[in-house]
Homo-oligomer: A and B are copies of this chain.
């Protein structure tokens, strides 16, 4: 079943989101264009958070950062408005989820900075095109994600473990997957690990910390990529007075073509 917005233009889809005509998850929309995770923080935390992302590029691949108070991501989507162009948002106060909304205009203040971070949709497309199977897509469930024992490089007040997503693969497919995703350093890049999950502090693959477990078939190995949940988790530990994110699966669709993110 293809998504009715699969070949739609990002501008059109964002407009329909803004007008309340599209309210669901964005997976499968605007094929070929990068979708982004979003985290909004106040300016006083922005330098440290930008530095955290810069130092931990694999889990925190920045696609754009707005200037304080401006809701327009001028690099990723000129003319867009991050307050209304995402179908669903989550509001966290002091680290606690307090609201889930479809418009953050009334929460937005002149000192807010929005961070748009690349997501795994961008590298899954090229893997599928290369003929690799991606288990959670085949099986129609969420990608399994795990908190590892690998600490990110801290920056100012921000710190925390790297969170990874996992895709089971035959070893020869894992090699192809490394080749394909290595070319996309701005959207998580090459895997951070493959093989024995104990080595990175994951004790039971059947119990992911987020998402749903993927079946690992005989002869397959787990392959781990740095995951965009990492920066949100790091931001949350600080318990900022206010932090706004996209709701899971409800991403910001940029004007950036995935192919333009390949090196």
Measured between beta carbons, the chain B residues less than 8 angstroms from A190 are 263
Q: Which of A72-94 contact B (CB under 8 A)?
A: 74-75
- The reply to whether A153 and B74 contact each other, CB–CB distance below 8 Å, is yes
Give CA–CA (A37, B94) in the complex, Å: 39
Measured between beta carbons, the chain B residues less than 8 angstroms from A74 are 153
**The 10 A-B residue pairs with the shortest CB-CB distance in the complex, in nearest-first order:** A47-B47, A185-B263, A50-B50, A182-B263, A51-B65, A55-B75, A46-B47, A54-B62, A263-B263, A67-B156
Q: How many copies does the complex hold?
A: 2
Residues of A within 8 A of B (CB): 43, 46-47, 50-51, 54-55, 62, 64-65, 67, 74-75, 153, 155-156, 182-183, 185, 189-190, 263
- The reply to whether B263 and A183 contact each other, CB–CB distance below 8 Å, is yes
Query: Of the candidates B43, B75, B153, which one forms a contact with A75 in the assembled complex, judged by CB atoms under 8 Å apart?
Result: B153
Most buried by B among A43, A182, A189, A263: A263
Measured CB to CB, the closest approach of chain B to A6, in angstroms, equals 29
Give CA–CA (A59, B64) in the complex, Å: 17
- The reply to whether B50 and A67 contact each other, CB–CB distance below 8 Å, is no
Measured between beta carbons, the chain B residues less than 8 angstroms from A153 are 74-75
- The reply to whether A54 and B47 contact each other, CB–CB distance below 8 Å, is no
- The reply to whether A51 and B75 contact each other, CB–CB distance below 8 Å, is no
- The reply to whether B54 and A54 contact each other, CB–CB distance below 8 Å, is yes
Measured between beta carbons, the chain B residues less than 8 angstroms from A263 are 182-183, 185, 189-190, 263
Give CA–CA (A244, B14) in the complex, Å: 43
Measured CB to CB, the closest approach of chain B to A239, in angstroms, equals 20
Measured between beta carbons, the chain B residues less than 8 angstroms from A54 are 50, 54, 62, 65
Residue in B closest to A155 when the chains form the complex, CB atoms: B67
- The reply to whether A67 and B51 contact each other, CB–CB distance below 8 Å, is yes
Measured CB to CB, the closest approach of chain B to A17, in angstroms, equals 25
Measured between beta carbons, the chain B residues less than 8 angstroms from A155 are 67
A-B contact pairs, 26 of them (CB 8 A): A43-B47, A46-B47, A47-B47, A47-B50, A50-B50, A50-B51, A50-B54, A51-B65, A51-B67, A54-B54, A54-B62, A54-B65, A55-B64, A55-B65, A55-B75, A67-B155, A67-B156, A74-B153, A75-B153, A182-B263, A183-B263, A185-B185, A185-B263, A189-B263, A190-B263, A263-B263
